Chain A
Amino acid sequence: EIVMTQSPATLSVSPGERATLSCRTSQSVSSNLAWYQHKPGQAPRLLIYGASTRATGAPARFSGSGSGTEFTLTISSLQSEDFALYYCQQFHNWPLAFGGGTKVEIK
């Protein structure tokens, strides 16, 4: 079973600043990684799949990078609507697994 570790648990950022979120997997998942945004009371939203491909409708300020065991989600210039929880998910092996999440909050 692949273990997913996201860091930091909480990231305090000012609007307009850059945010960098990390996801590490316990073994290689190649590029089989997705990122989701989740706001309380709402449906999670797919942002990135294949480690670096933006999903339909995801703003260009969101970008993903990495392969193997180390991955990064970057939000280039934080907007008010970007303050939320972010999860990574590996789809390389069963069971499908999510990271514990990073909360991006207003500084």
Chain B
Amino acid sequence: EVQLVESGGGLVQPGGSLRLSCAASGFTFSKSWMSWVRQAPGKGLEWVANIKPDGGEQYYVDSVKGRFTISRDNAKSSLYLQLNSLRAEDTAVYYCARDVVVITAAHYFDYWGQGTLVTVSS
């Protein structure tokens, strides 16, 4: 059974940092593209970032470029998201998800975790 379990969320002040983790099991993590997707309160889903299976390529939505860093440890079957210079608008539930790659750049998501809440507030 595929499982994705996020952790690391919490309350942080504007300008602060947080590191999210996602523990994966039930599939070959080292062969899978992985993404972070977030949902702000009362809003829809927003893709945030993804990473190639070997970690050699990462892609980000414009609003987080230069502030967030996605990474992975295939030996630990774990995905990470380092959140720096946090803003109130980054407040959201953050989900990790497994990408299905149809062709280059065509990704959708077949498994998701239950999410971890990040609240940015003073």
Q: Do these two chains interact?
A: yes
A45 touches B112 (CB 8 A): yes
A78 within 8 A of B: no
B46 within 8 A of A: yes
Per-residue CB contact flags for chain B residues 93-122 toward chain A (1 = under 8 Å, else 0) read 001010010100111111111110000000
Q: In the complex, how many angstroms separate the beta carbon of A32 from the nearest chain B beta carbon?
A: 6
B27 within 8 A of A: no
Interface range on chain A (Cβ under 8 Å from partner): 20 to 34
Per-residue CB contact flags for chain B residues 30-65 toward chain A (1 = under 8 Å, else 0) read 000000000000011111000000000001011000
B100 touches A42 (CB 8 A): no
B47 touches A44 (CB 8 A): no
A91 touches B110 (CB 8 A): no
B47 touches A95 (CB 8 A): yes
Per-residue CB contact flags for chain A residues 42-60 toward chain B (1 = under 8 Å, else 0) read 1111100110000100000
A98 within 8 A of B: yes
Number of cross-chain contacts by CB at 8 Å: 60
Given A44-B109, A46-B111, 6 more A-B residue pairs with CB atoms under 8 Å apart are A32-B102, A43-B95, A93-B105, A95-B61, A95-B62, A100-B44
A68 within 8 A of B: no
B4 within 8 A of A: yes
B108 touches A89 (CB 8 A): yes
Q: Complex: how many Å from CA A80 to CA B47?
A: 29
Query: What are 6 pairs between A and B in contact, CB < 8 Å?
Result: A32-B102, A38-B45, A43-B4, A43-B111, A55-B110, A94-B59
Q: Complex: how many Å from CA A13 to CA B108?
A: 28
Q: Which residue of A lies closest to B45 (CB)?
A: A98
A91 touches B114 (CB 8 A): no
A101 within 8 A of B: yes
Most chain-A Cβ atoms within 10 A of its Cβ — which of B100, B105, B107, B108? B108
Q: Which residue of A lies closest to B110 (CB)?
A: A46
Q: Which residue of B lies closest to A98 (CB)?
A: B45
A99 within 8 A of B: yes
